[in-house]
Structure 1
Amino acid sequence: MKNAMIKNSIITALILGIFSYGFAQQKVWKSSSEPVKEMELLRKKIIAPKFQKREFLLTSYGAIGDGKTSNTAAFKKAIEDCNKKGGGRVIIPAGTFLTGAIYLKSNVDLHLDDQAKIIFSRDPKEYPIVFTRWEGMECMNYSSLIYAYGEENIAVTGNGIIDGNADNENWWNWNGSKKFGWKEGLPKQTPARDALHAEMKKETDPGKRIFGEGHYLRPNLIQPYNCKNVLISGVQMINSPMWFINPVLCENVIVEKVKIVSHGPNNDGCDPESCKNVLIKDCLFDTGDDCIAIKSGRDEDGRRIARPAENHIIEGCEMKDGHGGVVIGSEIASGARNIYAINCTMDSPQLERVLRLKTSSSRGGIIENIFMKDVKVGTYKDAAITCNMFYENPGKFIPTIRNIWVENLDVARGGEYGIFVNAYESSPVQNLRLVNCDFRGVKVPMKMDFVKGLSLDHVTINGASAVVLEKFK
């Protein structure tokens, strides 16, 4: 039954991907009013799920909020009862509730009251093997801490705290880095990661790529997989084993007013993967990796499933530490299009990049129609705008990056580069346009190799007007 469900999901995704992406027309915006209109039309399509006005109090199912008693069974009972009775809110009251993996069912809003805290078990046996993506590759692995597959109308809301309970002694040391607690003689994820890469390249059945216990591939915090109408609102999240929010193959997703603070390995904030119609609004990210990273699958798996990331709005977010503020890639083999980022603020000497597009010729795919407007930056470390086609090992699938518009980007104290482009001569970055941008305190204004159609309109770097070199025109 499970294998049939997985197979049908893959076939459906492949067909949709071919028809929706294969016939897409390349666009070149003439003014910022065009992407703004597109964004507002998209906004109307992204609608938060609604839930029945019924409440299911977690403590009524035997839960004890002492931070020590396991409440895995209580969460399961409450969510299943809520689902069977037509949906509503499962209320986590004040207290600290220890649990293993939570499976979220259709029409259920998992709601944390103001003084509520969910803390997750450090015992890997509390996380059953499920069908998942791990770094853009499909496999059977530990359930994410909160997981759903094929569900509709689901939410995690409230003002409480979700604590993944990871640190250098638990989960993070599986990364294999001494910085995060790994020591000689301890297990690490590298052999399993390499094995998963090999299975992907052989294009084996993902349902037979079985990992989990003894393999040390860390789970993400929240992963709704192949779901519709997803809402994550208000909660604070800390200490995830790996990525925090990772919706995969989902449609109509809202992430709003969440606060994510964690500096562990691969602690990305929000990574929507092969999703359609996504709104990320009024969130705070202070992370050990990318703040927001939009993805669509790695290499063979991404191309096989063929579902691009499309129609994303990022609005009113604050980014502090991170490898990048708004990032597209690196697992981006199915491509990305129609990504809009507006009214954000970024500021940290540990924020490496503002807008980062990272891919490689092992990925391929098309990244297009990226619009960023009204972004204020205090400081950053590496580059304000990066387009990098050499992020990982090369392959035979030359990527495409085109139609990038950045307007009203204000940088108070720049880093190493203003604009950094590393592209293929056979596939230059196309139609990269900056309008009304001001970069101050930048060491190297521009370092670019292959760009076709670069346009700098009222752009100043270190107080001087940026000059478009003839070879970039």
Structure 2
Amino acid sequence: MKYFFKIFFAVLLPGFTSITVSAQIKTYNIKHYGAIADVKINNTAAIQKAIDEASANGGGRVLVPAGKFVTGVINLKSNVELHIDKNAFLLGSAIRADYGEGKASPLIVSNNQRHIAITGQGTIDGQGLDLLKDIYRRLNAGTLADTEWRKPNPWHQMRPTEDNRPKLIEFKGCDDINIKDITIKNGLCWIQNYKNCSNLVIDSIKVESVTYWNNDGIDIVDCKNVKLTNSFFNAADDGICLKSEDRDGACENIYVANCRVRSSASAVKFGTASHGAFKKITIRNISVYDTYRSAIAIETVDGATLEDIDIRDITATNTGNALVIRLGHRNQKVPAGILRRVYIGNVKVDVPAGKPDAGYTMEGPLVTIPHNVFPSSITGIPGSRVEDVTLENITINYAGGAKKERAYFGIDTLEKVPERIPNYPEFSMFGELPAWGFYIRHADGIMIKNMVLTCKGTDYRPAFIADDVKGLSLTGLSIPQVKRTPVILLNKVSGLVLKNIRIPGNAEKNIKAQ
């Protein structure tokens, strides 16, 4: 049955055009085009026919009604809303050949289209485990080419290349996108990838992407005017990830708020692909739990300019690292990037002694080098320094429990901390660091206001180290447990401001400048 409804839409985020639209929209039920709710039947042709007709007629709602409908690759076109109804399941085919020859196509694609949407309270299920069985079967039989299969990699994971693991959603060069209320689950690669898109609104979605490695919850790549709110991500890789893959592109005017994230990598991450720019990014009210790596990872290593970042109200429990800010130089073909004007405020993170994602189906790979609990860090490189970072109202609680025999080196050997200029950026990239709470190197204009660092267990390292920093302001830094002296070590620091430092015991022993 075809019916009509009115849609009213308004966007108030700065950078968007404020529009209110009232229009009658025709509904195209995929069952009327031959789709059958049977897990043994592939409905690709029927679903695509409904989409094509809706688009040709000027637009409409393509309805996936209650039931389980299997599909291969479908192409979403301009002015079409794919609506997955309550108790409806759009199931990705479990046959690798249904994603095309050569590189596997994503399940739902859209290129250079406008006014598109995926809505409804139903589920997109990639059936990743069943698809993986088919991929393995073909690989073992020698009927599927793969450049990485059985090839050693730094993570000690035997896995097929991404070319054989389809994403679930990939939109490129699209404008005016609305993703709302849906559940997306069981992919084999990035769950959803939005690249070079504009005016993208994502609200109240649920992502369960723990089927396999590289299951980022969402990747926003060189997009402008994005609003992501009220959503949940449980990911075997990064939860919410901003990337820049185009030297002339940028992630710009991005707003992320009121989301909950669990990840076997990092919860909110900028990078690692960082070729163009990240500008005017606002993050608000993110809850993180059981996350292996960082609650917040801000990284530019391929030449990108990263600036004007405002992050507030982050709470993370059982998370391996609070914060990493890294300016590196992985892409040696271009100059190192710029990282400046970052504000992070109202953050509380509890860092355990053990592995935060232990017991999950797909855990993050173990760090094989000897190490104790890793501190938060801000690090540039010689000649390319992190600039103008403000951290305010930050509390990081460490379980502690360090051991000297795990790669101990003294505070008089700071030069032994490797630079790792071209390396993949990560909070563990330097190996053991000489501080248990916070480590800063090669940075200018660092302002810390009201930071609390606690450590329940033993530790042999200073709590806070700044090495080669120009313009360091520490106001209201509180370190209530003295594990060893000095508690704060400042090496090659100029333009120092110290106010209201709260450390028990002798101030001269607790703060050392050299």
Q: TM-score range by the shorter chain?
A: 0.7 to 0.9
Q: Residue 227 of structure 2 is aligned with which of 263, 276, 279? A: 279
Post-superposition shift, 1:172? 9.9
Instruction: Decide whether the 8 Å contact of 1:418 with 1:461 is kept in 2.
Output: no
Instruction: Decide whether the 8 Å contact of 2:111 with 2:172 is kept in 1.
Output: yes
374 and 191 in structure 1: CA distance in 2 versus 1, 3 angstrom threshold: closer
**CA separation in 2, counterparts of 1:48 and 1:275?**
23
- Give yes or no for the alignment of 1:434 onto 2:434: no
Q: Residue 314 of structure 2 is aligned with which of 375, 380, 391? A: 375
Post-superposition shift, 1:287? 0.4
Residue 292 of structure 2 aligns to a residue whose secondary structure is coil
**CA separation in 2, counterparts of 1:215 and 1:322?**
18
Residue 449 of structure 1 aligns to a residue whose secondary structure is strand
Q: Which deviates the most, 183-192 or 261-270?
A: 183-192
AA aligned to 1:450 is H
49 and 447 in structure 1: CA distance in 2 versus 1, 3 angstrom threshold: farther
Q: Which has the higher helix share?
A: 1
168 and 85 in structure 1: CA distance in 2 versus 1, 3 angstrom threshold: closer
Number of residue pairs aligned between Structure 1 and Structure 2? 390
**Greater length-normalized contact order (CA 8 Å, ≥ 6 residues apart):** 1
334 and 237 in structure 1: CA distance in 2 versus 1, 3 angstrom threshold: same
66 and 42 in structure 1: CA distance in 2 versus 1, 3 angstrom threshold: same
Residue 364 of structure 1 aligns to a residue whose secondary structure is coil
Matches within 5 A, 1:44-59: 45=17, 52-59=24-31
Instruction: Decide whether the 8 Å contact of 2:95 with 2:131 is kept in 1.
Output: no
**CA separation in 2, counterparts of 1:284 and 1:420?**
27
Post-superposition shift, 1:284? 0.5
- CA RMSD in angstroms comes to 3.1
414 and 368 in structure 1: CA distance in 2 versus 1, 3 angstrom threshold: farther
| Aligned residue number for residue 291 of structure 1 | 239
Post-superposition shift, 1:250? 0.5
Instruction: Decide whether the 8 Å contact of 1:274 with 1:295 is kept in 2.
Output: yes
Superimposed CA distance per residue, residues 120-144 of structure 1 (whole angstroms, 9 cap, x where no aligned partner): 1133332347xxxxxxxxxx94321
Q: Which deviates the most, 163-172 or 97-106?
A: 163-172
Superimposed CA distance per residue, residues 200-234 of structure 1 (whole angstroms, 9 cap, x where no aligned partner): xxxxxxxxxxxxxx994432111111000011111
| Aligned residue number for residue 241 of structure 1 | 188
101 and 41 in structure 1: CA distance in 2 versus 1, 3 angstrom threshold: closer
228 and 441 in structure 1: CA distance in 2 versus 1, 3 angstrom threshold: same
**CA separation in 2, counterparts of 1:158 and 1:367?**
35
Residue 218 of structure 2 aligns to a residue whose secondary structure is coil
Superimposed CA distance per residue, residues 23-76 of structure 1 (whole angstroms, 9 cap, x where no aligned partner): xxxxxxxxxxxxxxxx98527547798764211111011100111111001111
Q: Which runs of 5+ in 2 are unaligned?
A: 1-10, 152-160, 354-372, 401-435, 456-476, 480-487, 496-514
Question: When the two structures are superposed, what TM-score results if normalisation uses the length of structure 2?
Answer: 0.69
Q: Which has the higher strand share?
A: 2
46 and 227 in structure 1: CA distance in 2 versus 1, 3 angstrom threshold: farther
- Give yes or no for the alignment of 1:72 onto 2:10: no
AA aligned to 1:234 is D
Instruction: Decide whether the 8 Å contact of 1:346 with 1:354 is kept in 2.
Output: yes
**CA separation in 1, counterparts of 2:87 and 2:307?**
43
256 and 41 in structure 1: CA distance in 2 versus 1, 3 angstrom threshold: closer
Matches within 5 A, 1:269-418: 269-297=217-245, 302-303=246-247, 306-348=248-290, 350-360=291-301, 363-381=302-320, 383-390=321-328, 392=330, 395-413=333-351, 416-418=373-375
AA aligned to 1:376 is T
Instruction: Decide whether the 8 Å contact of 1:402 with 1:432 is kept in 2.
Output: yes
- Give yes or no for the alignment of 1:106 onto 2:68: no
Superimposed CA distance per residue, residues 355-404 of structure 1 (whole angstroms, 9 cap, x where no aligned partner): 102332xx1111111111011112201x2111233485755431221111
Instruction: Decide whether the 8 Å contact of 1:421 with 1:447 is kept in 2.
Output: yes
AA aligned to 1:405 is Y
Instruction: Decide whether the 8 Å contact of 1:159 with 1:236 is kept in 2.
Output: yes
Instruction: Decide whether the 8 Å contact of 2:222 with 2:251 is kept in 1.
Output: yes
Q: Which deviates the most, 181-190 or 61-70?
A: 181-190
Q: Residue 220 of structure 1 is aligned with which of 154, 167, 173? A: 167
Instruction: Decide whether the 8 Å contact of 1:46 with 1:279 is kept in 2.
Output: no
Q: Residue 143 of structure 1 is aligned with which of 105, 110, 125? A: 105
221 and 385 in structure 1: CA distance in 2 versus 1, 3 angstrom threshold: same
Q: Which runs of 5+ in 1 are unaligned?
A: 1-38, 130-139, 175-180, 195-213
Residue 437 of structure 2 aligns to a residue whose secondary structure is strand
Instruction: Decide whether the 8 Å contact of 1:45 with 1:277 is kept in 2.
Output: no
Name the larger-Rg structure. 2
| Aligned residue number for residue 433 of structure 2 | none
Question: When the two structures are superposed, what TM-score results if normalisation uses the length of structure 1?
Answer: 0.75
**CA separation in 2, counterparts of 1:437 and 1:168?**
44
AA aligned to 1:229 is D
425 and 374 in structure 1: CA distance in 2 versus 1, 3 angstrom threshold: same
